[in-house]
């Protein structure tokens, strides 16, 4: 790096007292200067008050309501761009960074500007291995079954969870903000589809490390179904595919699930599967509007900035 950069770290919090002290402590140890913006989605556990008291140097926005992941991040991204950010780094409240993690991401991106979004390796909370979802979702996109095999600096992927994203200003200005059609689940997948559509690459920088301190838990089938269809909105908004293809993909899963629930006599899940599917189809007008807008570049995304 030849000179000082304007790097914003954006952290969305919601009842994050369990993690936020460690999260902020590690961010502030970064070996390159960063500006931290924390936006609190109406926590009820004292998160915002704690941060104000212990970290007065941090810019805090209190939303007064839960805007979801994308909505809260959009507020800070717009603010960062108005203040001439070179990079915005999105960090989960339960994420911790090695002190050189951001620098390594930034250095790689500056040498390879074709990458719009970069992520570090995402390890589990105690560093004993990869975060399980990161391992199964991201590793499956790579040609080798271990990140350690080939000693590569970068792995190109089409998707990586949004817990640790470095986004270049050039990418943000072309791709825009998170789509307001999403509230929770699917907004990260949709965004990365748009990143690829607009000609940017997505990668994992291997010598940059973050830790995702979340517990794997058993999720009831009814909740799994709800989350699945929330995320399937991103299948329908994927502008790299035709709408017909996207509808066919979602309909395939609907039929597959229906047959499975019927064969197991799980009529309550069969009913919910049908309800979620047709609820998703009822948003076709909104989805088509989003698809058309997301094919454009720059201007429309910031008209309300």
- Report if residue 198 sits inside a domain: yes
CATH number at residue 13: 3.90.550.10
- The pLDDT assigned to 303 comes to 47
Question: Are 102 and 177 found together in one domain?
Answer: yes
69 close to 42: Cβ distance less than 8 angstroms: no
Question: Are 131 and 63 found together in one domain?
Answer: yes
Question: Are 82 and 114 found together in one domain?
Answer: yes
Question: Are 179 and 32 found together in one domain?
Answer: yes
- Report if residue 256 sits inside a domain: yes
Structural domain containing residue 131: 7-212
- The pLDDT assigned to 145 comes to 46
Question: Who's near 234: CB < 8 A, 6+ residues apart?
Answer: 182, 186, 187, 189, 190, 193
The interaxial angle of helices 47-54 and 20-27, nearest 10 deg, is: 40
Task: Tell me which of 212, 246, 276 is where a domain ends.
Answer: 212
With CA atoms as reference, report the closest residue to 55 among 34, 30, 36, 31. 36
- The pLDDT assigned to 298 comes to 61
- Report if residue 115 sits inside a domain: yes
Tens of pLDDT, residue by residue over 173-200, are: 999 999 999 987 899 999 999 999 999 9
- The pLDDT assigned to 142 comes to 60
- Report if residue 2 sits inside a domain: no
- The pLDDT assigned to 84 comes to 95
97 close to 26: Cβ distance less than 8 angstroms: yes
- The pLDDT assigned to 305 comes to 46
Task: Tell me which of 212, 238, 270 is where a domain ends.
Answer: 212
Question: Are 174 and 228 found together in one domain?
Answer: no
- The pLDDT assigned to 133 comes to 86
Question: Are 177 and 283 found together in one domain?
Answer: no
- The pLDDT assigned to 296 comes to 86
Task: Tell me which of 212, 238, 263 is where a domain ends.
Answer: 212
Question: Who's near 96: CB < 8 A, 6+ residues apart?
Answer: 22, 23, 26, 125, 210, 211, 213
Question: Are 24 and 162 found together in one domain?
Answer: yes
101 close to 210: Cβ distance less than 8 angstroms: yes
- Report if residue 44 sits inside a domain: yes
With CA atoms as reference, report the closest residue to 157 among 178, 176, 137. 137
Question: Are 294 and 206 found together in one domain?
Answer: no
- The pLDDT assigned to 300 comes to 45
Question: Are 172 and 103 found together in one domain?
Answer: yes
Give the number of other Cβ atoms within 10 Å of residue 250's Cβ.
17
Question: Are 24 and 131 found together in one domain?
Answer: yes
With CA atoms as reference, report the closest residue to 9 among 34, 39, 32. 34
- The pLDDT assigned to 29 comes to 97
Q: Count up the domains in the chain and report the number.
A: 2
Which stretches of the chain score pLDDT less than 70?
1-3, 139-151, 216-217, 298-305
176 close to 300: Cβ distance less than 8 angstroms: yes
Question: Are 116 and 163 found together in one domain?
Answer: yes
Strand partners, 280: none
CA distances to 8, 112, 128, 305 from 84, rounded to whole Å, are 10, 20, 38, 14
Question: Are 201 and 292 found together in one domain?
Answer: no
- Report if residue 1 sits inside a domain: no
């Amino acid at each position: 790096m030849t000179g000082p950069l304007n790097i914003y770290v954006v952290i969305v919090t919601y009842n994050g007292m369990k993690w936020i002290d460690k999260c902020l402590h590690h961010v502030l140890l970064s070996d390159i200067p960063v500006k931290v913006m924390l936006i609190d989605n109406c926590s009820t556990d004292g998160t915002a008050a704690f941060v104000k008291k212990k970290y007065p140097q941090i810019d805090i926005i209190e939303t007064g309501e839960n805007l979801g992941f994308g909505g809260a991040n959009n507020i800070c991204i717009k603010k960062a761009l108005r203040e001439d950010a070179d990079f915005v780094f999105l960090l989960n409240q339960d994420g911790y960074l090695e002190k050189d993690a951001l620098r390594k991401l930034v250095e790689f991106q500056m040498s390879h500007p074709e990458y719009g979004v970069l992520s570090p390796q995402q390890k589990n909370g105690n560093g004993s291995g990869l975060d399980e979802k990161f391992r199964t979702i991201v590793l499956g996109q790579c040609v080798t079954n271990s990140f350690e095999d080939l000693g590569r600096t970068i792995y190109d992927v089409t998707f990586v969870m949004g817990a640790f994203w470095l986004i270049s200003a050039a990418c943000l200005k072309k791709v825009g903000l998170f789509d307001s059609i999403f509230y929770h689940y699917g907004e990260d997948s949709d965004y990365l589809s748009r990143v690829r559509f607009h000609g940017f690459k997505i990668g994992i920088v291997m010598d940059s490390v973050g830790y995702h301190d979340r517990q794997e838990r058993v999720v009831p089938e009814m909740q799994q179904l709800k989350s699945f269809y929330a995320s399937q909105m991103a299948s329908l908004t994927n502008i790299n595919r035709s709408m017909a293809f996207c509808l066919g993909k979602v309909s395939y899963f609907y039929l597959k699930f229906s047959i499975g629930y019927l064969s197991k006599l799980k009529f309550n899940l069969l009913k919910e599967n049908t309800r979620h599917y047709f609820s998703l189809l009822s948003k076709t007008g909104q989805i088509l509007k989003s698809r058309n807008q997301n094919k454009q570049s720059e201007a429309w995304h910031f008209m309300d900035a």
